[in-house]
């Protein structure tokens, strides 16, 4: 009987705290902007900004000092690639350099005077390229396109020479390509910026919007002289769990919707790869969102005034992105940053989401990340309870002193 | 007393008041210093290798011949790669999907025999480009590796036929490309990223702190006191409030420039003094954006949320990783509203290309144009400071 009463009381407290938190959220325009405006608009905006995520027809200048058939064919092939557009044909390097300095071209390809002569004499010929390193994508486009054209040209030249030496078709092919190569780039064949960047950023948006929303509310409550750690007085300081769980449920409810929008709907809307099982993605969200909630509860306790959260913590957002390892590889993180990255749920969730949704991994393969999120949830849950406990003791002391 | 004298007196009064506020609430000074210190530490140490080396690359060796073992060894020996052996393709594919390796190659059964007897075996490699830098580098590495091997087999066959010397090289590798990387010869990611990320962080913190400093007057109801001090002059109030921050942020920015210069070796051709000048302009432009935001939305909590959204977007729209010209046309214009975009373009002209004033005079003009922004909200902010009739919480 006593136990039943306890459970009923527990549920009613939990419910009251939950409803109160929802009311707080929905009556705060700053929080609503962060949760809903940022939460809904950011994923769309990032998709619009990056579009296809590829740089097509990058303008380059060509200096053809050789002017033979070989160099002319190379230039034609280069112009036909997706990556490059031969925008200017210059008579000398000075002219090309000027275009480069004016940023009208992002690269220069120079054929030396002896290019065709050397080819004719069966000597190795050298092409010089100059890449604008102000964005590495320029460099990548130039090297990839010239490299691919070079390989196909090389095979052409070799084939012609073997034919001239009296080889048959089959023999020529054997001599030119003793080993054939096939490159398979299964998940992002065009090296699209969008396909690597957006999936990683989606998970970060969920974590960061939640963190800043929670912090703003914590700050507000503190400013208004009542705490986030409100425990009904008659409980005499017990009931920490229902406080944390009651508040948490409010965010869970909102973020499970935001999560489905971000992780399921957005990839559909913008034709991002969806190679994963939707059920697996949902389970990932079920692991990620609680981790984000208790993470936010823990770190928001350091916020004294509502607006300072941004001033102190906004810079962490781009850093979180680097910590996912989607750009600089995680295998090359120094140990300190490897450990530091474990503070953020987004590190695990981004990797798991990219692997599941884009690369088609199953849930078992995302095991390490899910376990990481579970461990974070446990640790941060404990810390949020500690925070409530300490805050309550402080409040009580203050009351006694008054 | 002349008007000018009065203005100076009022401004000094406001400056005094602001310095007192900064001392009372250290967040204004401590937060920017900590943010910049942390960011620099982060980028300098995380990317200290410059170019990631020893990326894990999987090998599935079905051949187990002297040739396939030689290939594996060579791949392992390159600076970029480190081989991880897998028993079969499924295992390797799973590791690829999990992001544990960025690429793997499959050496087919009887590869050695087939290659020698002209049956042309196919070597397949798989690359995961969802992890961008690792994927792209492994792709490049594997491609040149396989070409090298194909060439080696060819060379053996030709040597058997009695060809040698330059003719042999000329036949196996008729064309080579000699790439010159202008502005970053070592393809150093640390140099590349930190030179824009650090000024980006500076822009971010300036906008936030300025919005916070101006908005706090409304939130804590102190703006009437501010206007009293400034002798009812909006110009004196704004100048007095912003001057201490401008000096502080400029000093902070110049310090960052000096550290960046030491760490990354840029500017190669340009002058550090020009970098200082542009940092100063970045400070002014960012403050102007902040004044515009708080003036348009004189409610601190809303303004700071909008400022936060704006500042994070700047990193993408600056276009230093993904170029602006490949964004959709309607987005391209949007990039102009971020001071960081103009700073980046200046940086390219000054530090990478060494074009000097002739290269970046347009960017300087754009930066100065940001200074017109406060005038558009002048009256609105003044009214808000006077009446304090906007919601405070």
Please give the average pLDDT of every successive group of 10 residues along chain B, which has 393 residues. Answer: 86 92 91 96 94 92 91 87 92 94 93 88 93 91 86 85 79 90 89 94 97 91 87 90 96 95 78 92 97 93 91 93 91 94 94 88 95 93 84 65
Phi/psi at A55 (5° precision): -100, 105
The average confidence (pLDDT) of chain A is 91
> To the nearest whole angstrom, how far is the Cα of A131 from the nearest Cα of chain B?
5
The answer to whether the Cβ–Cβ distance between A365 and B98 falls below 8 Å is yes
The answer to whether the Cβ–Cβ distance between B322 and A177 falls below 8 Å is no
Cα B143 from Cα B152, distance rounded (Å): 14
Cα B41 from Cα A330, distance rounded (Å): 17
Of B124, B208, B349, the CB nearest to A311: B208
The answer to whether the Cβ–Cβ distance between B180 and A131 falls below 8 Å is yes
The answer to whether the Cβ–Cβ distance between B179 and A140 falls below 8 Å is no
Burial of B74 per CB tally in 10 Å (0-12, 13-18, 19+): middle
**Domain residue ranges of chain B, discontinuous segments joined by +:** 3-47+188-387, 55-172
pLDDT attached to residue B171: 84
Per-residue pLDDT, averaged over A199-222, amounts to 93
- Please, which residues have CB within 8 angstroms of residue A366's CB and are 6 or more apart in sequence? A280, A284, A352, A355, A356, B98
Kindly indicate the confidence band of residue A390, based on its pLDDT and cuts at 50, 70 and 90: confident
**What is residue A314's three-state secondary structure?**
coil
Q: What topology is assigned to B55-172 in CATH? A: abc type-2 transporter like fold (3.40.1710)
- Please, which residues have CB within 8 angstroms of residue B383's CB and are 6 or more apart in sequence? none
Intra-chain end-to-end CA distance of chain A, in Å: 40
Per residue in A37-86, pLDDT tens? Answer: 999 999 999 999 998 889 999 999 999 999 999 999 999 999 999 999 99
The reply to whether A245 touches chain B by the CB within 8 Å rule is: no
Among residues B149, B125, B131, which one has the least CA distance to residue B71? B149
In this prediction, what percent of chain A has a pLDDT beyond 90? 67
Q: Which residues of A274-285 are buried (b: 16+ CB within 10 A; e: fewer)?
A: eebeeebbebbb
- Which of B305, B331, B346 would you mutate first to test chain A, the one with the most A CBs within 10 A? B305
Per residue in B83-125, pLDDT tens? Answer: 999 999 999 999 999 999 999 999 999 998 998 888 999 999 9
If you count residue pairs, one on A and one on B, with CB atoms under 8 Å apart, how many are there? 342
The answer to whether the Cβ–Cβ distance between A49 and B180 falls below 8 Å is no
- Bond from prior residue into B183 cis (ω within 30 degrees of 0): no
In this prediction, what percent of chain B has a pLDDT beyond 90? 61
The answer to whether the Cβ–Cβ distance between A48 and B331 falls below 8 Å is yes
In the DSSP assignment, the letter for residue A177 is -
- Chain A residues within an 8 Å CB radius of B177: 126-129, 143, 146-147, 150
User: CB neighbours (10 Å) of residue A184?
Assistant: 11
Record the pTM: 0.93
Intra-chain end-to-end CA distance of chain B, in Å: 41
User: What superfamily would CATH give domain A58-176?
Assistant: abc type-2 transporter like domain (3.40.1710.10)
The answer to whether the Cβ–Cβ distance between A139 and B132 falls below 8 Å is no
Per residue in B11-31, pLDDT tens? Answer: 999 999 999 999 998 889 999
Phi/psi at A225 (5° precision): 65, 20
pLDDT attached to residue A190: 86
Say which residue, A395 or A202, is predicted with more confidence: A202
Cα A376 from Cα A369, distance rounded (Å): 10
What tokens were used for B321?
A: 């990783």
Say if residues A228 and A217 touch (Cβ distance below 8 Å): yes
pLDDT attached to residue A176: 87
Per residue in A145-175, pLDDT tens? Answer: 999 999 999 999 999 988 888 888 888 888 8
Of B150, B197, B302, the CB nearest to A318: B197
3-state class percentages of chain A: helix first, strand second, coil last, to nearest 5? 70, 10, 25
Cα B355 from Cα B125, distance rounded (Å): 43
pLDDT attached to residue A393: 80
Calculate the CA A239 to chain-centre distance: 39
pLDDT attached to residue B78: 83
Per residue in A314-325, pLDDT tens? Answer: 999 999 999 999
What tokens were used for B123?
A: 């070597």
pLDDT attached to residue A12: 86
**Domain residue ranges of chain A, discontinuous segments joined by +:** 2-51+192-401, 58-176
In terms of CA atoms, which chain B residue is nearest residue A140? B136
What tokens were used for B287?
A: 């403050």
Per residue in A225-253, pLDDT tens? Answer: 666 665 555 555 567 888 899 999 999 99
């Amino acid at each position: 009987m006593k136990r039943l009463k306890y459970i009923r009381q527990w549920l009613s407290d939990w419910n009251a705290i939950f409803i109160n938190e929802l009311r707080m959220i929905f009556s705060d325009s700053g929080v609503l902007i962060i949760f809903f405006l940022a939460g809904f608009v950011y994923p769309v905006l990032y998709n619009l900004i990056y579009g296809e995520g590829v740089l097509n027809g990058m303008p380059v200048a060509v200096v053809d000092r050789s002017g033979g058939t070989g160099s002319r064919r190379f230039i034609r092939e280069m112009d036909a690639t997706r990556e490059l557009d031969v925008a200017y044909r210059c008579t000398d390097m000075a002219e090309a350099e000027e275009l480069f300095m004016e940023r009208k071209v992002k690269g220069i390809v120079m054929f030396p005077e002896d290019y065709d002569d050397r080819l004719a004499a069966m000597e190795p010929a050298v092409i010089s390229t100059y890449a604008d390193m102000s964005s590495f994508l320029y460099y990548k486009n130039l090297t990839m396109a010239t490299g691919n054209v070079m390989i196909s040209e090389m095979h052409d030249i070799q084939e012609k020479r073997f034919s001239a030496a009296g080889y048959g078709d089959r023999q020529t092919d054997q001599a030119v390509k003793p080993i054939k190569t096939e490159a398979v780039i299964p998940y992002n064949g065009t090296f699209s910026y969008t396909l690597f960047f957006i999936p990683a950023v989606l998970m970060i948006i969920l974590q960061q919007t939640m963190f800043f929303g929670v912090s703003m509310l914590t700050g507000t409550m503190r400013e208004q002289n009542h705490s986030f750690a409100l425990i009904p007085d008659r409980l005499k300081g017990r009931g920490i769990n229902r406080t944390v769980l009651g508040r948490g449920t409010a965010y869970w409810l909102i973020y499970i919707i935001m999560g489905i929008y971000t992780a399921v709907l957005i990839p559909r809307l913008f034709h991002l790869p969806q190679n994963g099982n939707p059920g697996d993605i949902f389970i990932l969200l079920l692991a990620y969102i609680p981790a984000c909630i208790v993470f936010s509860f823990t770190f928001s306790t350091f916020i004294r005034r509502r607006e300072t959260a941004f001033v102190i913590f906004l810079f962490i957002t781009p850093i979180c992105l680097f910590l996912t390892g989607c750009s600089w590889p995680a295998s090359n993180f120094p140990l300190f940053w490897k450990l530091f990255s474990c503070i953020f749920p987004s590190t695990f969730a981004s990797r798991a989401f990219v692997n599941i949704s884009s690369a088609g991994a199953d849930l078992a393969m995302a095991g390490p990340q899910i376990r990481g999120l579970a461990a974070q949830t446990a640790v941060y849950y404990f810390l949020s309870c500690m925070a409530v406990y300490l805050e309550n003791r402080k409040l009580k002391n203050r009351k006694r002193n008054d | 007393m002349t008007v000018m004298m009065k203005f100076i007196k009022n401004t000094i009064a406001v400056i005094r008041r602001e310095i007192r506020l900064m001392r009372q609430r250290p967040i204004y000074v401590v937060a920017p210093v900590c943010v910049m210190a942390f960011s620099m530490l982060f980028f300098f140490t995380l990317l200290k290798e410059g170019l990631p080396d020893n990326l894990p690359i999987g090998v599935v060796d079905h051949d187990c011949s002297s040739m396939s073992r030689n290939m594996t060894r060579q791949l392992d020996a390159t600076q970029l790669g480190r081989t991880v052996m897998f028993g079969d393709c499924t295992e390797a594919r799973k590791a690829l999907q999990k992001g544990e390796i960025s690429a793997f190659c499959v050496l087919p059964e009887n590869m050695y025999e087939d290659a020698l007897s002209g049956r042309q075996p196919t070597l397949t490699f798989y690359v995961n480009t969802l992890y961008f830098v690792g994927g792209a580098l492994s792709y490049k590495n594997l491609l040149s590796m396989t070409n090298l091997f194909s060439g080696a087999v060819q060379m053996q066959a030709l040597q058997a036929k009695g060809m040698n010397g330059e003719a042999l090289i000329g036949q196996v590798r008729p064309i080579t490309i000699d790439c010159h990387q202008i502005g970053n010869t070592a393809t150093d990611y640390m140099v590349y990223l930190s030179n824009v990320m650090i000024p980006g962080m500076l822009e971010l913190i300036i906008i936030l702190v300025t919005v916070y400093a101006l908005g706090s007057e409304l939130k804590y109801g102190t703006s009437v006191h501010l206007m009293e001090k400034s002798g009812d002059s909006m110009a004196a109030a704004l100048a007095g409030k912003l001057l201490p921050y401008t000096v502080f942020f400029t000093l902070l920015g110049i310090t960052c420039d000096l550290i960046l210069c030491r760490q990354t070796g840029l500017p190669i051709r340009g002058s550090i003094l020009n970098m200082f000048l542009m940092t100063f302009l970045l400070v002014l432009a960012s403050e102007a954006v902040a004044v515009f935001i708080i003036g348009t939305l004189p409610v601190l909590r809303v303004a700071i949320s909008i400022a936060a959204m704006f500042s994070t977007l700047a990193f993408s729209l600056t276009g230093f990783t993904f170029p602006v010209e490949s964004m959709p046309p309607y987005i391209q214009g949007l990039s102009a509203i971020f001071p960081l975009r103009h700073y980046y373009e200046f940086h390219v002209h000054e530090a990478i290309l060494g074009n000097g004033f002739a290269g970046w005079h347009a960017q300087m003009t754009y930066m100065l144009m940001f200074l017109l922004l406060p005038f558009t909200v002048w009256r609105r902010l003044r009214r808000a400071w006077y009446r304090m009739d906007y919601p405070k919480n």
